[in-house]
């Protein structure tokens, strides 16, 4: 099963590159396609029984992971950590207020607006309407992070949306819990709900800071890249497990720990080569996590249920879009009024970034174990949530890609002249450091540290160049040219001259 799963991931990446479609969308379509084949083709001999058994095993694995709450805790934390270590403190400082308001008040308003629309327009029972709305209120961190890793947007805008997606799970889980409690208890527990929210969010922040500080103390004693990478794994899952065990938000703790580690620990204690190794590891982990999340979503689409519930799903999708608009535009307009530097196009990007996905599906799956709702209500909740997530991915993701690329066209263009200059500057710096080492102006250790830093910069520039050149032949020719240039201009050291 593992080999088949990895093969699907590779095939999705190739199709995404060839078709120019978003990678997440290709993953969902592949999952849906194989689900359809498994359901319709087995009896007609279109696919072998052995392949169908793989689909069955994947479906069962997904069911176990989601029903036991393992899916969110296993897949989502690496995605958050990988994104947070790249957010710079200066960008975060500029957008932290709108991020927090969108992640708190925004989720509450979206739940109310969406719940009222589902109640009055769709005619669902009030408790079911508001529960569906609460489940669909938070933006999906997996989708948001994946999108802004693949398209270029202003760093402050990307930081605002990444942080909102990482934080709003705390509010969503609290609102979800309050609605569940209200279904079995008389009255509306306002004070206890507020306390629960403060514990979820505040506790997650405190745990994240504590884990981040402890990791920094340990990292200051390490230089081995394998040990540092293992330390980051401990930070991610340790912060999540500790915070969840204390009743706080594990995802908030991971987000704060990632911000701490990226802005303080990596910059102060980790060498350039080790830093590059750690970042590369989490890029791979995030890629695998994204692949798992969206393939599983595709595998979960039940065609029979989906087509039967199309009117309700479409209405729910429109309700969620309306509730997102009712939160994003007023909140960002207020921040613009009070002096927040925020172009008007940011509001549209933020609106389109309200995709639903893994977290909503996991919350919906947890309703199945409750006796408060009938089997019919549970089936409605699961069908609507999965259908809205599917429509969100297939409609909003392409729109967001297209809008960001057209609206921020300048950010999409990487100047080849700038890359050439960065490459030449890195080469010149390495040569100057080598000359200083040969003359005794700097020590061997200082030379190694400077060379590692410049080589890391050179590698980044080469990667940027790779993304701007379509033809592999040109890329190979350029890399070969740079290699000959570096080798040809290398200054001999004392041992060479001897």
Quick one: pLDDT at residue 179? Answer: 80
Residue pair 396/359 in contact (Cβ under 8 Å)? The answer is no
Which two structure tokens, joined as six digits, stand for 169? 């799970």
Closest residue by Cα to residue 171 from 133, 217, 142: 133
Residue pair 209/252 in contact (Cβ under 8 Å)? The answer is no
Record the pTM: 0.71
Residue pair 73/250 in contact (Cβ under 8 Å)? The answer is yes
Could you give the residue ranges of the DSSP H alpha helices within 155-224? Answer: 155-184, 190-219
What's the pLDDT tens digit per position in 237-255? 999 999 989 988 888 899 8
Measured over the CA atoms of residue 132, residue 135, residue 137 and residue 140, the dihedral's sign is: negative
Q: Give Cα separations from 381 to 35, 406, 434 (angstroms).
A: 21, 36, 65
Q: Which residues, in sequence order, are CB contacts of 135 under 8 Å at separation 6+?
A: 172, 176, 360, 363, 364, 381, 385
Is domain 71-412 classified as CATH 3.40.50.10860? no
Domain range annotation of the chain: 2-59, 71-412, 416-497
DSSP code of residue 309: T
Spatial distance between the Cα atoms of 27 and 290, rounded to a whole number of angstroms: 9
Element (H, E) at 222: none
pLDDT classification of 224: cutoffs 50, 70, 90: confident
Closest residue by Cα to residue 325 from 348, 304, 309, 302: 348
What's the pLDDT tens digit per position in 247-299? 888 888 998 999 999 888 987 878 777 888 888 898 888 778 777 777 776 67
What's the pLDDT tens digit per position in 120-133? 988 888 888 999 99
Q: Give Cα separations from 126 to 117, 279, 313, 377 (angstroms).
A: 10, 46, 17, 11
DSSP class per residue in 238-273: HHHHHHHHTTS-HHHHHHHHHHHIIIIIHHHH--HH
pLDDT classification of 171: cutoffs 50, 70, 90: confident
Judge residue 71's burial from the number of C-beta atoms within 10 Å of its C-beta, 0-12 exposed, 13-18 middle, 19 or more buried.
buried
Quick one: pLDDT at residue 148? Answer: 78
Q: How many helices (H) and strands (E) does the chain have?
A: 25, 0
DSSP class per residue in 321-351: HHHHHHHHHHHHHHHHHTT----THHHHHHH
- Residue 228: count other Cβ atoms within 10 Å of its Cβ: 23
Phi-psi region of 374 (alpha: psi -120 to 50; beta: other; left: phi over 0): beta
DSSP code of residue 186: S
Q: Is the pLDDT of residue 489 over 60?
A: no
Average pLDDT, the chain: 77
Which two structure tokens, joined as six digits, stand for 119? 């109640």
User: Average pLDDT, stretch 130-155?
Assistant: 81
Spatial distance between the Cα atoms of 485 and 478, rounded to a whole number of angstroms: 10
Quick one: pLDDT at residue 213? Answer: 95
């Amino acid at each position: 099963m593992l080999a088949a799963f990895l093969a699907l991931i590779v095939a999705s990446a190739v199709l995404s590159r060839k078709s120019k479609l978003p990678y997440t969308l290709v993953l969902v379509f592949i999952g849906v396609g194989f689900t359809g084949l498994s359901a319709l083709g087995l009896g007609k001999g279109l696919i072998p029984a052995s392949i169908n058994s793989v689909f069955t095993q994947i479906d069962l694995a997904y069911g176990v992971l989601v029903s036991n709450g393992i899916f969110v805790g296993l897949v989502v934390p690496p995605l958050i950590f990988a994104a947070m270590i790249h957010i710079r403190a200066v960008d975060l400082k500029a957008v932290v207020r709108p991020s927090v308001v969108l992640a708190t008040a925004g989720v509450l308003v979206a739940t109310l607006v969406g719940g009222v629309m589902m109640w009055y327009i769709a005619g669902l029972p009030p408790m079911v309407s508001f529960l569906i709305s609460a489940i669909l209120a938070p933006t999906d961190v997996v989708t948001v992070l994946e999108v802004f890793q693949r398209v270029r947007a202003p760093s402050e805008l990307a930081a605002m949306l990444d942080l909102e997606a990482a934080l709003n799970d705390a509010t969503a889980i609290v609102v979800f819990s309050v609605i569940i409690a209200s279904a079995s208890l008389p009255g509306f527990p306002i004070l206890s709900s507020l306390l629960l929210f403060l514990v979820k969010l505040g506790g997650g922040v405190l745990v994240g800071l504590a884990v981040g500080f402890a990791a920094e103390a340990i990292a200051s004693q390490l230089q081995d890249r394998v040990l540092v990478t293992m330390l980051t794994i401990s930070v991610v899952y340790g912060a999540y497990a500790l915070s969840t065990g204390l009743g706080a938000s594990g995802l908030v703790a991971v987000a704060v720990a990632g911000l701490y580690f990226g802005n303080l620990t990596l910059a102060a204690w980790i060498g350039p080569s080790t830093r590059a190794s750690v970042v590369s590891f989490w890029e791979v982990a995030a890629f695998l996590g994204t692949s798992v999340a969206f393939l599983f979503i595709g595998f979960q689409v039940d065609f029979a249920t989906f087509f039967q519930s199309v009117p309700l799903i479409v209405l729910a999708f429109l309700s969620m879009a309306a509730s997102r608009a009712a939160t994003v535009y007023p909140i960002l307009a207020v921040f613009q009024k009070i002096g927040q530097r925020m172009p008007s196009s940011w509001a549209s990007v933020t609106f389109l970034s309200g995709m639903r996905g893994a977290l909503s599906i996991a919350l919906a799956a947890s309703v199945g174990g409750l006796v408060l709702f009938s089997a019919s209500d549970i089936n409605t909740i699961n069908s609507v949530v999965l259908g809205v997530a599917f429509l969100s991915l297939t409609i909003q993701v392409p729109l967001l890609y297209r809008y960001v690329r057209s609206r921020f066209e300048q950010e999409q263009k990487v100047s080849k002249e700038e890359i050439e200059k960065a490459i030449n500057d890195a080469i010149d710096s390495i040569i100057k450091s080598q000359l200083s080492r040969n003359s005794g102006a700097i020590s061997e250790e200082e030379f190694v540290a400077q060379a590692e830093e410049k080589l890391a910069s050179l590698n980044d520039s080469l990667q940027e160049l790779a993304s701007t050149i379509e033809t592999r032949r040109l890329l190979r020719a350029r890399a070969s040219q740079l290699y000959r240039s570096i080798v040809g201009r290398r200054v001999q050291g004392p041992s060479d001259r001897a």
